[in-house]
Amino acid sequence: MFGSPGSGKGTQSKYVVDWLKIPQISTGDMLREHIRLGTEIGKAIAARMRAGSLVSDELVNQLVYERIHQPDCKRGFILDGYPRTTAQAQEMMRLLATMGAREVVIHLVVDYNVIIARMAGRRVCPVCGTLYNSVSKPPKVEGFCDLDGSPLSVREDDREEVVRERLAQYEASTMPLIEFFRKSSERLFEVDASKDRPEVVFGRIQQALLKAGVLNSGVLKSCSVSKDIPAGVA
Report if residue 39 sits inside a domain: no
Helix (H, G, I), strand (E, B) or coil at 190: strand
Report if residue 196 sits inside a domain: yes
Q: Is the peptide bond before 83 cis (omega within 30 degrees of 0)?
A: yes
State the pLDDT confidence band at 182, using cuts at 50, 70 and 90.
very high
For residue 114, the Cα-to-chain-centroid distance in whole angstroms is 18
For residue 215, the Cα-to-chain-centroid distance in whole angstroms is 21
State the pLDDT confidence band at 121, using cuts at 50, 70 and 90.
confident
Q: How far apart are CA 90 and CA 57, in angstroms?
A: 11
**For this structure, is 48 an active site residue?**
no
Question: What would the pLDDT profile of 35-80 be if each residue is shown by its tens digit?
Answer: 899 988 888 888 887 777 778 888 889 889 999 999 999 989 999 8
Q: How far apart are CA 152 and CA 148, in angstroms?
A: 10
HSE-CB at 205 with a 13 A cutoff on CA atoms is 31
**For this structure, is 84 an active site residue?**
yes
Report if residue 32 sits inside a domain: no
Report if residue 46 sits inside a domain: no
Q: How far apart are CA 5 and CA 193, in angstroms?
A: 12
Looking up residue 173, the CATH number of its domain turns out to be: 3.40.50.300
Closest residue by Cα to residue 83 from 74, 72, 96, 92: 92
Q: Which listed residue (75, 94, 137, 155) is catalytic?
A: 155
Q: Which listed residue (48, 102, 164, 166) is catalytic?
A: 166
**For this structure, is 122 an active site residue?**
yes
Beta carbons of 209 and 188 less than 8 angstroms apart: no
Report if residue 37 sits inside a domain: no
Q: Which listed residue (48, 84, 102, 164) is catalytic?
A: 84
Q: Which listed residue (9, 67, 118, 204) is catalytic?
A: 9
Q: Which listed residue (67, 122, 123, 204) is catalytic?
A: 122
Report if residue 171 sits inside a domain: yes
**For this structure, is 164 an active site residue?**
no
When mean pLDDT is compared across 131-145, 179-193, 216-230, the lowest value belongs to: 216-230
Report if residue 97 sits inside a domain: yes
| 228 C-beta neighbours (distance < 10 Å), count | 10
What pLDDT does residue 54 have? 74
Domain containing 104 equals 2-22+75-228
pTM score of the predicted model: 0.77
- Cβ neighbours for 81, distance < 8 A, ≥ 6 positions apart: 26, 27, 28
**Which ranges of the chain does DSSP label H, i.e. alpha helix?**
9-20, 27-37, 40-50, 57-68, 86-98, 112-120, 160-184, 198-211, 217-222
State how many domains the chain has.
1
Amino acid of residue 84: R
